[in-house]
Amino acid sequence: MSPEAGIVFREVQQFRQPLLWLLLGGMTMFMLVIFGLGFLKLNAANNKLAWLLFIPPLIMIGVSLMMYTSRMVTEVGQDGLTVKFTPFHRSVQKIPLENLASHEVVKIQALREYGGWGIRYGKNSKAYLVSGEEGVRLTYAAGNNLFIGSQKPAELDCAIAMLKGGEQPAGNPRQ
């Protein structure tokens, strides 16, 4: 978006990691073969339940389509800091900055710290993760945290600093 629209930072992330698609595609093909062979065997015996064997592969195809169409849009602008993780959010999620104690660029291990990718919840924490190991951690006065994964964490942190009133970003990512 342009500065005229009041957006100073915008990032769109999608699940496009080759390993993820290799894994999903491989699992789907494996299920189609296994359940397809079962279907042929049961259908040869005129078993009407044979069609139920296609439910697991259809579920895998549905999950793959959902992952492919998923995207996270992070924006900083006149409306504040917003995140929309489609198809999980029906509307834009406005991230409150009023009680923000600090924000910093951090490096994480998604599996270890948050249990994976997507919208993750933990004790006193929430995370929006699509890919990569970096993002911005927002720490609130109440002690809870919000992590927003980003491929451009320094730019996101600077935009948040501008939104908060010209404060300087916290600095380098921690290792």
Q: Does the pLDDT of residue 146 top 50, yes or no?
A: yes
User: Distance (Å, rounded) from C-alpha 129 to C-alpha 133?
Assistant: 9
What one-letter code names the amino acid at 53? L
Strands 118-122 and 125-129: antiparallel
Q: Write the pLDDT tens digit of every residue in 64-108.
A: 899 899 999 999 998 889 999 998 888 999 998 888 999 999 999
Whose CA is closest to 100, among 145, 57, 69, 59? 145
What are the tokens at 74? 């992070």
Rounded Cα distance between 167 and 136, Å, is 15
Whole-number pLDDT of residue 114? 87
Tell me the C-alpha to C-alpha distance, in Å, between residue 30 and each of 36, 38, 42, 60. 10, 12, 18, 11
Which has the closest alpha carbon to 153: 129, 128, 173?
173
In this predicted structure, what is the pLDDT of residue 175?
Answer: 37
Where helices occur in the chain by DSSP H, the ranges are 18-44, 55-69, 110-114, 153-163
- Cα angle at 13 between 66 and 107, to 5 degrees? 120
Residue 83 token pair: 């995140």
Predicted confidence at residue 167, as pLDDT, reads 54
Which letter does DSSP use for residue 22 in this model? H
The C-alpha atoms of residue 75 and residue 82 are separated, in whole angstroms, by 5
